[in-house]
Amino acid sequence: MLSKVYYQLQEYNEAMVFALGAGKYFDIENAEEYEETIVAKCVDTYISLCALHNPPKPASSIDRTSSDFGDISSMLMALPM
């Protein structure tokens, strides 16, 4: 699998892309270092993209009466399991 070649070269972004493109051949049930690293990279990428699309508000403009946890939980619920 090409993803493992990129993983060995420590090119984790490319390894993640090819692993996700491998579909059923990328088995996350086989919990070894490679799979754990790719899953962690996916989570890190998701967090980065969420932060990019939802920049933090300045502390002075935050409405203390409302919560943004609804937005976060709806994003997490939309993730494929």
Cα atoms in the 13 Å half-sphere on the side-chain side of 33: 4
Q: How does residue 15 score in pLDDT terms, banded at 50, 70 and 90?
A: very high
Categorize the per-residue pLDDT at 52 as very low, low, confident or very high, splitting at 50, 70 and 90.
confident
Neighbours of 1 (CB within 10 A): 13
Is pLDDT larger for residue 12 or for residue 30? 12
In this structure, are residues 43 and 51 in contact, taking their beta carbons and an 8 Å threshold? no
- Confidence band (pLDDT; 50, 70, 90) for 64? low
Position 56 scores a pLDDT of: 77
Query: With bands split at pLDDT 50, 70 and 90, how would you rate the model's confidence at 66?
Result: low
